Amino acid sequence: ASVVVLPLAVSIARLRSAYARVGASERLFRQGFADALLGTVLLRRCEQAGQGGLHHVEHHGVGLDVVEVNDVAARMLGLTPDQLSGTSFTERLQSGDRPLIADAVEAIGTGAVQGWHGELALPGGDGTRWIEVALSPLSAPAGDGLFVAQMVDVTARRAAEERLTVAALHDALTGLANRTLLRDRIDLALATLPDDGSGVAVLFCDLDDFKRVNDSAGHSSGDVVLVEVAARLRAMLRPDDVAARLGGDEFVILRPHVADVSHADALAGSVLESLARPLLVGGQVTTMGASIGIAWGVQGATADDLLRDADAAMYAAKASGKRRAVVYADEHRTRALRSVRVEAELRTALDRGELEMYLQPVVEVLGGQVVAAEALVRWRHPEQGVLAPAAWLDVAEGSGLMPQLGEWVLRRSCEMARTWPCAPGGQALVVHVNVSARQLEVPGFVDLVRAVLDETGLPPASLTLEFTETYLEEVTSALVADLNSLRAMGVGLAADDFGTGYSPLTRILETPLTMIKIDRRFVSSMLDDARSGAVVRALLRLGESLGIAVVAEGVETQAEAHALATLGCRHAQGYLWSRPLPPEAFVQWLATDEARLAGVRAIGAAHADGATHLGAATHPGSAVRLSPRASG
């Protein structure tokens, strides 16, 4: 008996020591498990054949049950450790993620991989929570079916990544798609077109005269307008439509699967109608118009094709008078290519000295006395010869070149006027300089005029700035302030082409105009059309009543000059006296008596035809035709 007892005692002691080590190891594991900074879950592989039972597993009958979970993981899963113990971990996952776990468990179990790492979605009442999971077997190989999952909550990181993705594909101000996302959606729409003859419609929408909002009410008010425009566009979208802001005041609507272009045209009409509704900007009620270009594409086209064509059609809409939609035609692309070429050539024309000034005199109708000259810019193109502004001014306006070009014209005109001889009687001649809306909208324009006058030495009273009447259609407080500043300096202000726009007559009272210029269309037709004659008569009386000078433009015949004189028009300009002349020729012309003789001939013709009268007819057909107009 003594021989047997000793080895048994030793074996029991060793066993107790081993148990103690196991217990210590387990306590250490559980302490580390509970205190882990990461969410940690002890999982057991579960097998489920078919549907039903305690844990329904959808993929391969393989899943994971919770054996034990620490507090960090329990908080991620939204329950207490006791509530989670014995439940299915797999069933808590988003359905699309369950096959991932099933495949991972099988791959680890067969030794194909040592572990699995990925992100899983946990749906919940307060939204989806995202966890990053590292799954590994508790022992190698995983024959006991136990696994340890370490988890990190990455919901905040995923949200930040999604925000970055949205920011990369959407406009920050309006929330609409940006150019990158729009191009992707257009290409997708083209690639998925059904074979039924339908197409993809792209509407390129550019707000008309939006810069006035920024300049008059400030950029914050401009942002309010852009956000409101985006909201109105978004309200018109179908589920598969896309609205985008490309930047500035440019918006695009994509409508996939359109039966024909007429549907896109109807959508454009709805957009124009929506934008025309009044909105409040800076405490003032205003409306926004837009020019819309429509492109329609079928399979084989690209996003770049449609955006380019819609853009070209949009410029055609602006050239046609704004606040309208134009469907793309091949001629629009030709025009767009021409604009690109002209813009490139125009940008270097100033440096090459290709721009020149011409001058057309403004005279007293009766005596022929020259009182002023209108400065007109011409482009001496190296290949096409002398080009009038009508051939390129629209390109200059659209390209942003007008401020630079306008400054050159203003400076050159003042330099020339400073050298002109005085009129008989010692009165200095006045130079009339055309100013575009773009120039007037540039901050610091008044300071520029003051600086140019100081540098050239031209008295402010010898300068009159002309701008078209259409610019008065929407008078802003900023515009009135600038015009008042110019008048305070002594600079004259003339409304050109008066009578052709839609500005109310109250604009004359709201702005410090010193002159209105009657559009040549009324002058050229007043002898044949009693209505035109009535307009001329009314404008002359208006100017007289308000103390504003009136100049009749486009006078070509002695009969027209006499008719104007009869109505009391004192000043005019036109081919009857002189065509626009280069500066040197204009100075030589001043030394001749041609202007005075033209006036004398007009008066003489009037005395020779005592029956001549204007506007006495009750209808256009009964107006008396005095003489055929000169062709020059």
- Per-residue pLDDT at 486: 96
Instruction: Choose the weakest-confidence range: 36-40, 245-249, 591-595, 621-625.
Output: 621-625
Structural tokens at position 112: 């194909």
258 in Cβ contact with 245 (< 8 Å): no
Q: Over pLDDT 90: what percentage of the chain?
A: 46
Range picked from 270-284, 449-463, 597-611 for highest mean pLDDT: 449-463
- Per-residue pLDDT at 5: 52
Three-state DSSP class for residue 4: helix
Q: What are phi and psi of 271, to 5 degrees?
A: -65, -45
As a whole number of Å, the end-to-end CA separation of the chain is 146
Number of Cβ atoms within 10 Å of the Cβ of 295: 27
- Per-residue pLDDT at 20: 59
- Per-residue pLDDT at 456: 96
Comparing C-alpha atoms, which of 433, 432, 445 is closest to residue 483?
445
33-159: which CATH topology? Beta-Lactamase (3.30.450)
Residue of 302 and 165 predicted with greater confidence: 302
Residue of 95 and 231 predicted with greater confidence: 231
- Mean pLDDT over the full length of the chain: 82
Comparing C-alpha atoms, which of 419, 507, 523 is closest to residue 467?
507
Over residues 297-307, mean pLDDT: 90
Evaluate if residue 299 carries a pLDDT over 70: yes
Asked if the 353-622 domain carries CATH number 3.10.180.10, the reply is no
462 in Cβ contact with 428 (< 8 Å): yes
CA 354, distance to chain mean position in Å, is 32
Residue of 351 and 80 predicted with greater confidence: 80
Structural tokens at position 143: 């024959």
- Per-residue pLDDT at 615: 47
Q: Which residues of 550-583 are buried (b: 16+ CB within 10 A; e: fewer)?
A: bbbbbbbbbbbbbbbbebebbbbbbbbbbebbeb
Instruction: Choose the weakest-confidence range: 38-47, 383-392, 393-402, 616-625.
Output: 616-625
Evaluate if residue 518 carries a pLDDT over 80: yes
The type of residue at 387 is L
Q: What are phi and psi of 457, to 5 degrees?
A: 80, 15
Over residues 437-455, mean pLDDT: 89
Which residue in the block uniquely carries the two structure tokens 């690639």?
191
In this prediction, residue 57 has a pLDDT band, given cuts at 50, 70 and 90, of very low
Instruction: Choose the weakest-confidence range: 202-211, 227-236, 258-267, 329-338.
Output: 329-338
- Per-residue pLDDT at 231: 95
- Per-residue pLDDT at 612: 47
- Per-residue pLDDT at 141: 61
What does the alpha-carbon distance between residue 225 and residue 213 come to, in Å, rounded to a whole number?
A: 8
- Per-residue pLDDT at 631: 31
- Per-residue pLDDT at 616: 40
Residue of 627 and 315 predicted with greater confidence: 315
- Per-residue pLDDT at 23: 57
Domain ranges of the chain: 33-159, 170-328, 353-622
- Per-residue pLDDT at 350: 79
Element (H, E) at 309: helix 303-319
- Per-residue pLDDT at 479: 81
- Per-residue pLDDT at 308: 92
In this prediction, residue 51 has a pLDDT band, given cuts at 50, 70 and 90, of very low
Instruction: Choose the weakest-confidence range: 89-103, 422-436, 545-559, 616-630.
Output: 616-630
- Per-residue pLDDT at 110: 85
pLDDT tens figures, 120-166: 998 887 788 899 999 999 876 656 789 999 999 999 898 888 888 77
In this prediction, residue 385 has a pLDDT band, given cuts at 50, 70 and 90, of confident
Asked if the 170-328 domain carries CATH number 3.30.70.270, the reply is yes
The type of residue at 238 is R
Per-residue DSSP letter, 170: B
- Per-residue pLDDT at 219: 74
- Per-residue pLDDT at 601: 60
Over residues 353-372, mean pLDDT: 91
- Per-residue pLDDT at 534: 93
Over residues 275-292, mean pLDDT: 85
582-588, long-range: CB < 8 A, 24+ apart: 582/356, 582/357, 582/358, 582/359, 583/357, 583/358, 583/359, 583/416, 586/358, 586/359, 586/361, 586/373, 587/420, 587/421
Over residues 307-314, mean pLDDT: 92
Evaluate if residue 454 carries a pLDDT over 50: yes
